[in-house]
């Protein structure tokens, strides 16, 4: 391990710098919207809320860990959207949510017993929740 004096002093600046981050807004009905935003490598809760919550139809965000293209990434849904009776089932977001168990434990996958995602969802192409 290098001594602290041997480490580039700009590493913290680079680590904390904004990076262009891809995400997708997945409505219950309609076109999926691909978007980009500037976020740090480990964004704050306030930074995430500012990007995500405007897409959740008035709901507060809840994080869902999902398995997409061979890696775990973060998807966010409304914290009450599945229980408040106001949102309809989001078939595309539900499919993404169920992919983890379908991939890693297919013998125990049963779509009828797995909870659905209701309302809009926001899917990131990387981990943003730490």
Q: How many domains does the chain have?
A: 1
Neighbour count for residue 75 (Cβ, 10 Å): 23
What pTM did the predictor assign? 0.84
31 part of a folded domain? yes
Is the residue at 28 inside a domain?
Answer: yes
pLDDT in tens, 36-54: 999 999 999 999 999 999 9
Domain assignment present for residue 65? The answer is yes
Instruction: Determine which helix (DSSP H) or strand (DSSP E) holds 49, and give its type and residue range.
Output: helix 45-52
In this structure, is residue 69 part of a structural domain? yes
Say if 11 falls within a structural domain.
Answer: no
Q: What is the pLDDT of residues 65-114, one digit of tens each?
A: 999 999 999 999 999 877 767 789 999 999 999 999 999 999 999 999 99
User: Is residue 4 a part of any domain in this protein?
Assistant: no
Q: Which 3 state secondary structure label does DSSP give 82?
A: coil
CA distances in angstroms from 119 to 4, 24, 65, 83, listed in the order given: 48, 14, 17, 11
Whether 8 maps to a domain, the answer reads no
Domain hosting residue 33, numbered range: 18-124
Are the C-beta atoms of 74 and 93 separated by less than 8 Å? no
Q: Is the pLDDT of residue 10 over 60?
A: no
d(CA 53, CA 62): 10
The residue whose two tokens read 């192409």 is 125
């Amino acid at each position: 391990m290098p001594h602290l004096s041997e480490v580039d002093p700009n590493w913290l600046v680079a680590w904390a710098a904004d990076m262009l981050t891809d995400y997708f807004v997945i409505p219950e009905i309609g076109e999926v919207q691909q978007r980009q935003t500037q976020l740090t490598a480990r964004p704050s809760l306030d930074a995430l809320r500012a990007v995500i919550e405007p897409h959740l139809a008035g709901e507060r965000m809840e994080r869902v860990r999902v398995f997409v293209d061979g890696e775990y990434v973060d998807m966010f849904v409304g914290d009450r959207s599945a229980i408040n009776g106001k949102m309809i089932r989001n078939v595309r977001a539900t499919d993404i949510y169920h992919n983890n168990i379908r991939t890693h434990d297919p013998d125990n996958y049963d779509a009828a017993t797995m909870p659905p995602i209701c309302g809009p969802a926001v899917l990131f192409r990387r981990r943003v929740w730490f």
